Amino acid sequence: MEYRDIRSDIKDAFNMEGVMGTMRGLQFYQGERAMIWAVRNNGLADIYLYREDGSRETLLERMPEDYSFGNWFMDAEGGFYRWSNSDSLVKMDAEGKELYRVVLKDAGINYI
pLDDT tens-digit map of 21-65: 888 999 999 888 999 999 998 999 999 999 888 888 999 999 988
State pTM to two decimals: 0.77
Residue 19 banded pLDDT, cuts 50, 70, 90? confident
Q: CA 91, CA 15: separation in Å to the nearest integer?
A: 29
C-alpha closest to that of 57 among 82, 32, 81: 32
Tens digit of each residue's pLDDT (9 = 90 or more) over 64-80: 888 888 899 999 989 99
- pLDDT value, residue 5: 76
Question: Does the structural domain 22-103 have CATH classification 2.40.10?
Answer: yes
Kindly tell me if the per-residue pLDDT of 111 is higher than 60. Answer: no
Provide φ and ψ at 66, rounded to 5°.
-65, -15
